[in-house]
Amino acid sequence: MTSRKPPVVERSVASPLSATNGAVPVVRPRIGLALGGGGARGLAHIVMLEAFDELGIKPTIMSGTSIGAIYAAAYASGISGKELRVHTKDILSPRFGLVRDLFAARSQTLQRLYNPFTRSAILDPNALLDLVMPKHVRANFADLEIPLHIMASDFYEQEPVVFTAGLVRTAVAASMALPVIFHPVVRGTQVLIDGGMTNPLPFDVITPHADIVVAIDVSGAPVPDPKRATPTAFEALFASAFLFERSIIKEKLKASQPDILISAGTSQFQVLDFLKFDEIIAAAEPAKDRLKFQLERILSVETLAQIDSPLTSNPVCEPARARRGSRLLSRRRSSTDGD
């Protein structure tokens, strides 16, 4: 289990303990938010970010993989969930014909474009980011409002790569560079590909820096095509990457869990279903409500005494509840130790 840094107890200088009639000062937990990869299913990240905005809560650290890296970079730049909803819907509208046509083509046209004997990939991830990334995303990690970890994978070393400094666009491009579809990103001697190949749900990289870790899982399985009994060779190759990612997530959750794990409820959509924006957003709304409920409950001072009570029916989260309860309660006690 990864060791955690000693938590920092925040007190309001305007409201010292003596001014609260001896009440325990409010402890503000450090909240980490991890946004996973999953293609079009990751549009659900928008409503999860809206949940934070509606509660008036800001993560103190974030991480992202693939499409999760795009939305994490935007949110860490100060762009709200509502603004991301408007921006994404806009770039998928007929006004942005090139982007719309790309996703309308989906795998059938991509398959015709791809020749494994003459081409290593079809698309340049940087060129796609020029089309889809909000213009107000900060250029450098040092300029972000929220510290950010972006996941990529070293193709030759077969190891995860974590970006925390340098150019944000380079990190995001590497994180989304799914082999076959996107050209890899070269950084020095490294050839970088999709972060989902090594860490599709990167909650573990921010765990040492947060008291409460929230992970949004937008992974999914291939969706059967009623017109065909079996997938094409290209579809099978494309989907195999996401099957691999789901296996990684399952194994990770056996070893450790985030404090709040939200499945976005969008697994019924295909990876390139970006034009089903409204349907994906609607499908994610119940998960948004669950996230808000769990955040309110875990952050409520009144429920700290019952912090070990179940937040979800998922049994793999039990160890995380125990850690969270003891961690937050100890912080609450330590806030009065020197008073």
pLDDT band (50, 70, 90) for residue 323: low
pLDDT at 313: 37
Most confident of 63-77, 80-94, 112-126, 314-328: 63-77
Q: Does the pLDDT at position 47 exceed 70?
A: yes
* 172/218 Cα distance (integer angstroms): 17
State the average pLDDT over residues 300-320: 44
Q: Does the pLDDT at position 214 exceed 90?
A: yes
* pLDDT tens-digit series, residues 192-206: 999 999 999 999 999
* 41/277 Cα distance (integer angstroms): 9
Residue pointed to by tokens 């020029």: 130
pLDDT averaged over every residue in the chain: 80
Q: Which of 290, 293, 285, 291 is nearest to 43 (CA)?
A: 285
* 130/133 Cα distance (integer angstroms): 6
Residue at 82: amino acid letter: K
* pLDDT tens-digit series, residues 172-185: 999 999 887 889 99
* pLDDT tens-digit series, residues 244-295: 888 899 999 999 999 999 999 998 898 888 999 999 999 999 999 999 999 9
CB 227 within 8 Å of CB 192:
no
State the average pLDDT over residues 59-64: 98
User: CA 47, 65, 55 angle in degrees (round to 5)?
Assistant: 30
Which of residues 333 and 39 earns the better pLDDT score?
Answer: 39
Which of residues 240 and 34 earns the better pLDDT score?
Answer: 34
Structure tokens at 96: 């942005």
CB 265 within 8 Å of CB 48:
no
Helical spans, DSSP H, in the chain? 45-55, 67-76, 81-91, 97-113, 125-132, 168-175, 233-255, 277-299, 318-334
Residue 85, domain CATH: 3.40.1090.10
The H-or-E segment that residue 63 falls in is strand 61-64
Q: Inter-axis angle of helices 45-55 and 67-76, to 10 degrees?
A: 30
pLDDT at 301: 47
Range of the structural domain that residue 223 is part of? 31-97+120-297
Residue pointed to by tokens 């081409």: 119
* 96/94 Cα distance (integer angstroms): 5
pLDDT at 142: 98
* 187 within a domain of the structure (yes/no): yes
Task: Give, in order, the Cα–Cα distances in Å from 120 to each of 123, 124, 159, 169, 188.
Answer: 10, 11, 21, 22, 20
Backbone angles phi, psi at 267, to 5 degrees: -65, -15
* 306 within a domain of the structure (yes/no): no
pLDDT band (50, 70, 90) for residue 43: very high
* 194 within a domain of the structure (yes/no): yes
* 19 within a domain of the structure (yes/no): no
What's the residue count for the chain?
339
Structure tokens at 142: 């040092």
pLDDT band (50, 70, 90) for residue 224: confident
* 328 within a domain of the structure (yes/no): no
* DSSP per position, 268-279: TS-TT-GGGHHH
* pLDDT tens-digit series, residues 9-25: 332 333 333 344 555 55
CB 213 within 8 Å of CB 206:
yes
* 285 within a domain of the structure (yes/no): yes
User: CA 84, 90, 94 angle in degrees (round to 5)?
Assistant: 160
Range scoring the smallest mean pLDDT among 113-122, 160-169, 238-247, 294-303? 113-122
Q: Which of 73, 79, 26 is nearest to 331 (CA)?
A: 26
Structure tokens at 163: 């970006």
pLDDT at 253: 94
* 11 within a domain of the structure (yes/no): no
* 303 within a domain of the structure (yes/no): no
* 246/220 Cα distance (integer angstroms): 7
Domain count for the chain, please give it: 1
